[in-house]
Amino acid sequence: MLNRIENTILEELKEKDLNVVDILCDLTAKHRKVKIDELIEECDIIYRLSRTPERRVFYIDTGRLPTHRAMAYLERIKNEIRQ
């Protein structure tokens, strides 16, 4: 889409006999900034998606297990979820 807009603008500038090189440099710089912003947004989304499993809260009923066995059971469940 940007290429089509750039081509349209360049054609208009050629008709008006303006300095096309300066305008083109300005357009590519702005295009680069827009692309960087898009990449940063995508990285943020990927980061949030990759971190979500670590932020979940689970309720695991241990019933009447003794404390040491309940903690071992929770550790085993935690390791299974991480894999």
Enter the tokens of residue 54. Answer: 């670590």
pLDDT at 76: 93
Candidate from 2-16, 25-39, 42-56, 63-77 with smallest mean pLDDT: 2-16
Place of tokens 């499993």: 53
Q: Which domain holds residue 65?
A: 2-82
Instruction: Count the domains in the chain.
Output: 1
Higher per-residue pLDDT: 72 or 22: 72
Reported confidence tier of residue 33, pLDDT bands at 50, 70, 90: confident
pLDDT at 2 over 60: no
For 52-70, how does the pLDDT look when each residue is reduced to its tens digit (9 = 90+)? 766 677 888 999 999 999 9
Q: Helix 2-16 crosses helix 20-51 at what angle (to 10 degrees)?
A: 170
pLDDT at 68: 95
pLDDT at 1: 54
